[in-house]
Structure 1
Amino acid sequence: MDHPTLPLGLYQYEHTAALFDGTVTINGVDATFTTAPIVSDIFQGMVRGDFDVAELGLTYFLRTFVLEDPPFLALPIFPNRNFRHSAIFVNTASGIEKPQDLAGKTIGEFALYGHDAGVWPKGILADDYGVTPDQCRWVIGGTNHPIPSFDWIPQPMPADVDIRHAANDETLGAMLEAGEIDALISVDVPQALLDGSPEVARLFPDYQTVEREYYRRTGIFPVMHVVAIRTELARQPDLALAIYHAFTEAKEIPARRYRDRAAKRHMAVMTPWFSELFAENQRLLGEDWWPYGVEANRTAVDTFLRYHHEQGLSTHQLTSEDIFVPDLLRT
């Protein structure tokens, strides 16, 4: 008997490779996987109806809840996560030496007001340093290349925050290096920093130490993206569970490879001292350092949901019970 066809949009990560090459299949469906060189193109494809299941940035997913009939629910699968103290950059002549100095400054933000790698730093700045978005001026745009406004997704703008979009020919990275903005929050690293420009630095130069301390204190490994499913398909619990199990199995393949190859000091990896880094990360993050499921991620997800509401991006504060497929809430 033929299985139903299920089009999925997904970036190619090492923990999704087994889905693309067919090593892992989704039980009961004929899945077709589509990727893109820019992950936001996958997001846009899901919004315009190209996929039944797809990776969505967490804020892109949450913005659809302002619609009268929200089209998606989330599966507790988190293909992209990253610590984000390292996503805050400053102009070295701006007088910003500590987080509190951001108050009163002009800050660039990549792509849209409240992108995934922006919601986290803004929330952390508010919680830990008392700097809230309304204390700053904001310029939205591309970091290393100009990008237009993402008009294909709802863009709520809090009334008490000064926000404008950069001109069509401007990049936030160049504006930061020139001192036209004082700071930048961006998923992309400014090219000026990569090129060694003395005009651009990270707000937290020793960001790895700061981020590790943040994890020890909070237990949060920030989630960036979820896998979303159309609401009509989410009513099929066997389908949702099959997708969840397949993604979990695919993730375990590279995780097991990292664990098994520690005895040979990961000799297939080009990065020097990688085994020491892997061992240090395991000591801090645990055996399953990239967990799926609701319970293992509840603190991180609920913190993001709080930040999203506090930053004026959600009309009310959502909960994990609001956004995840009900049959997967016990995962």
Structure 2
Amino acid sequence: MTDLALDLAVYRYEHTAALLDGSVDIAGVDATWHTAPVVTDLFQAMVQGSYDVAELGLTYSLRTWDTGESPFLALPIFPNRNFRHSAIFVNADSGITKPEDLAGKTIGEFALYGHDAGVWPKGILSDEYGVTPDQCRWVIGGTDHPIPSFDWIPQPVPDGVDVRHAAEGQTLAGLLESGEIDALISVDVPEALVSGASSSKIRRLFGDYESVERDYFRRTGIFPPMHLVAIRRELVGQPGLVEAVYAAFAKAKDLAAAQYLKGALKQQMASMMPWISQLFAENRRLMSDDWWPYGVAKNRVAIDTFLRYHHEQGLSRTRLTCEDLFVPELLTS
């Protein structure tokens, strides 16, 4: 029998590298793999019909549901996840010393009103600190490089929320440095903060963000997913296909995780990062050996939370469920 020819796309992470280099195959699939230097280029190509299966940001996937029946269903594969208290930056002269001080302020947000790394912190700010998006003013743009509006995806803005796009040539980091905005929520860390520029006025809202994020995980069990893997709806009926794609992604991820376990025997000598052995040991104690889980069961609380945030923030007309989002064949995964 001839294998099914499919175009698939994913960013090159350590846990997807085995797919892209051909070390892991998808049973029954003649796979042509694609990647890109910027992950949102993959999102745009998937939305515009270039791929059969591809990584897609959670909010990008959910926004397609408000244009009629979404052309996609999701596989419970989460190639990108990150804690996001560390994604909130403030101007040191803004008077913002605690989360509650964000109320009434002007805040920049990367790329979209409600990008994946923005939905999570805005939801957390609302749940835990009482700061809701309608209490702030929002400016959308690029962090260190100007970017145009993403006109290839719906960009809903709820009533009562003040949102505008940065002017041509402006960057959010520049606006934050100058004090034209008070804070920034962004997947990208401003270059001035990474470089350690002594003159920069940019700092994180949560200075000891690691401790805050570890406490968040202890309390909630949530390691926030940012992206999932989407499949074109018309392919879901292909016998065994979604199970085979899921199995291949899981195998590639497990191979990458196994390298950390193997590396622990040799003090992680393949890495240039000092004290990574101690970090790995701390993470295993907190998060177990399955610290990057796929499947619905281990991610249901996190996904349900994101779906609630997306609806509460006016980005989804209806509050979707895991049963709406994921392919039926993998709901018990």
Q: TM-score, normalised by structure 1?
A: 0.99
Show the counterpart of 1:280.
282
Task: State the alpha-carbon separation in 2 of the partners of residues 147 and 198 from structure 1.
Answer: 22
Of 192-201 and 255-264, more deviation after overlay is shown by 192-201
Unpaired segments of 5 or more residues in structure 2?
A: none
Counterpart of 2:61, as a letter, is F
- In the other structure, the counterpart of 2:103 is 103
Which residue is 1:75 aligned to? 75
Which residue does 2:43 correspond to in 1?
A: 43
Cα distance in 1 for residues equivalent to 2:127 and 2:68: 32
Secondary structure, aligned partner of 1:296: helix
2:298 corresponding residue in structure 1? 296
Q: What one-letter code is carried by the residue in structure 2 that aligns with 1:114?
A: G
Contact 1:15 1:252 in 2 (8 A): yes
Match of 1:306 among 305, 308, 311: 308
Aligned residue pairs, count? 331
User: By how many angstroms is 1:237 displaced?
Assistant: 4.7
Aligned-pair distance for 1:198? 3.7
CA distance in 2, matches of 1:105, 1:244: 43
Q: 2:326 aligns with which of 315, 321, 324?
A: 324
Alpha-carbon distance, 1:68 to partner = 1.4
| Residues 264 and 319 of structure 1: CA distance in aligned 2, closer, same or farther (over 3 Å) | same
Matched, 1:212 2:214: yes
C-alpha distance in structure 1 between counterparts of 2:61 and 2:171, whole Å? 26
Q: By how many angstroms is 1:70 displaced?
A: 1.0
Instruction: Specify the alignment match of 1:177 in structure 2.
Output: 177
Q: Which residue of 2 aligns with 1:224?
A: 226
Residue in 2 aligned with 1:9?
Answer: 9
Letter in 2 for 1:74: A
Cα deviations by residue, 1:100-147 (Å, 9 ceiling, x for unpaired): 000000000000000000000000000000000000000000001000
The correspondence of residues 27-176 of structure 1 with structure 2, limited to 5 A, is 27-176=27-176
Residue 235 of structure 1 and its aligned partner are, at CA, apart by 2.2
Q: Which amino acid aligns with 2:255?
A: I
For residues 221 and 235 of structure 2, what CA distance do their matches in structure 1 show? 33
Displacement of 1:158 after TM fit? 0.5
The C-alpha deviation readout for 1:174-206, integer Å capped at 9, x for no partner, is 100110100000000011212324411000000
Amino acid in the other structure paired with 1:310: E
SS in 2 for 1:61: helix
Residue 2 (structure 1) shift: 2.7
> How far apart are 1:9 and its partner, in Å?
1.2
Listed one character per residue, the Cα deviations across residues 42-79 of structure 1 (whole Å, up to 9, x for unaligned) are: 00000110000000000000000001121000000000
Q: Residue 94 and residue 231 in structure 1: after superposition, are their counterparts in 2 closer, same or farther (change >3 A)?
A: same
Amino acid at match of 2:332: R
Identical-pair percentage: 69
Equivalent residue letter for 2:135: Q
CA contact (8 A) 1:107 1:181 kept: yes
**Counterpart secondary structure, 1:12:** coil
SS of the aligned residue for 2:33 comes to: strand
Aligned equivalent of 1:247: 249
User: Runs of at least 4 residues of structure 1 off by over 3 A?
Assistant: none
Q: How far apart, in 2, do the equivalents of 1:122 and 1:194 lie?
A: 23
* AA matched with 2:219: R
- Match for residue 193 of structure 1? 193
CA RMSD of aligned residues (A): 0.8
Contact 1:105 1:183 in 2 (8 A): yes
SS in structure 2 of the partner of residue 107 of structure 1: strand
Q: Distance in 1 between matches of 2:3 and 2:67?
A: 32
**TM-score normalised over the length of structure 2:** 0.98
